[in-house]
Amino acid sequence: MVGPAGDGDAASRRAVRLRRRWDREAGAYDRGMAAAERRLFPGVRPLVCGLATGRTLEVAVGTGLNLAHYPTAVRDGRLTGVEWSPGMLRVARRRAAELGADVDLRLGDAQRLDLADDAYDTVVCTFSLCAIPDHRAALAEMVRVLRPGGLLVLADHVVSTAWPVRVLQAAADVVSVPLAGEHFRRRPLRWVLDAGLAVERHERTRAGVIEWVAARTPGPRAR
Ligand SMILES: C[S@@+](CC[C@H](N)C(=O)[O-])C[C@H]1O[C@@H](n2cnc3c(N)ncnc32)[C@H](O)[C@@H]1O
């Protein structure tokens, strides 16, 4: 019988394997992402990063493709980025240096953020909830570190509104989840609504596959 300890061991072995996969992809990531971005979600990065104000956390910052799109006031000393792949983080740090951005980029696990409660005004996570093993735990962590009335900004590929696409996504999941930890049928917005956040902005395009949302945690409004 596999008890809780066995499950934990399996989960950490899997986490190591997934992190290594991202380390290997780090060098080619920007090129692959640029092609997907042009076809599927042009303009989404500047739009969602432009909503950030005050102390901002980016979860699973990857190679830092969003860095250039934050308002200068955020990029100059108020932005923290967490990423669990040292290879991806290395590229992000290089990019930050090239941009002259004063950002705190650190290794960490989105599912267990080593950050204080209520510490951020804005939390951003783009195209990563599809890849984080326990995306619900990561969302709960994002809300925990947001101050009351803080803004959660998410963008990702999600389950389609069109059934033929959903069939393809289900087929893709059969291979991509065990091999690459990539999920095509998640929908973070459901969790956001269940958690009682108030949606302020929302857009869904490309047969419903691309979705971004900005939602506020309960409590005092924006400062
Ligand atoms: C598809 S990339 C997206 C990167 C970046 N957010 C972007 O928009 O280009 C997914 C990223 O999530 C990171 N990731 C996956 N699980 C993670 C976790 N548990 N904690 C931190 N980062 C994680 C991967 O290492 C990878 O860099």
Mind listing the pLDDT tens digit for each residue in 148-199?
Answer: 999 999 999 999 999 999 999 999 999 999 999 999 999 999 999 999 999 9
The response to whether residue 62 sits with its C-beta less than 6 Å from ligand 1 reads yes
Question: What are the C-alpha distances in Å from 103 to residues 29, 43, 135, 153?
Answer: 21, 23, 25, 19
Domains of the chain and any CATH numbers: 4-216 (3.40.50.150)
Residue 11 has what pLDDT?
A: 87
Please tell me if the CB atom of residue 83 comes closer than 6 angstroms to any atom of ligand 1: yes
Which pLDDT score is estimated for 32? Answer: 96
Quick check: CB of 70 below 6 Å from ligand 1?
Answer: no
Nearest ligand 1 atom to alpha carbon 132: 16
Q: Is the pLDDT of residue 1 over 50?
A: no
pLDDT at 60 over 50: yes
Report the DSSP beta bridge partners of residue 201. 214
Nearest-angstrom CA–CA distance, 29 and 214: 26
Q: What percent of the chain has pLDDT over 70?
A: 96
Determine the pLDDT at residue 6: 52
The Cα 188–Cα 142 span in angstroms is 12
pLDDT value, residue 220: 80
The alpha carbon of 83 and the centre of ligand 1 are apart by a number of angstroms equal to: 6
Query: For ligand 1, is residue 57 a contact (CB within 6 Å)?
Result: no
Which residue do the tokens 């640029």 mark? 34
* Average model confidence (pLDDT) across the chain: 95
Residue 223: which pLDDT band, with cuts at 50, 70 and 90?
A: low
pLDDT digits (tens, 9 = 90+) for 108-141: 999 999 999 999 999 999 999 999 999 999 999 9
- Distance from residue 62's CA to the centre of ligand 1 (Å): 5
pLDDT at 3: 37
CB 61 within 8 A of CB 93: no
Mean pLDDT of 67-93: 98
132 CA to centre of ligand 1 in angstroms: 7
**Helix (H), strand (E) at residue 202:** strand 198-205
Structure-token match 């609504």, residue found: 193
As a whole number, mean pLDDT of residues 38-54 equals: 97
Q: Which two tokens stand for residue 82?
A: 């967490």
Q: Is pLDDT at 212 greater than 80 in this prediction?
A: yes
Please state the rounded mean pLDDT for residues 194-214: 98
pLDDT on residue 219:
87
pLDDT at 5 over 50: no
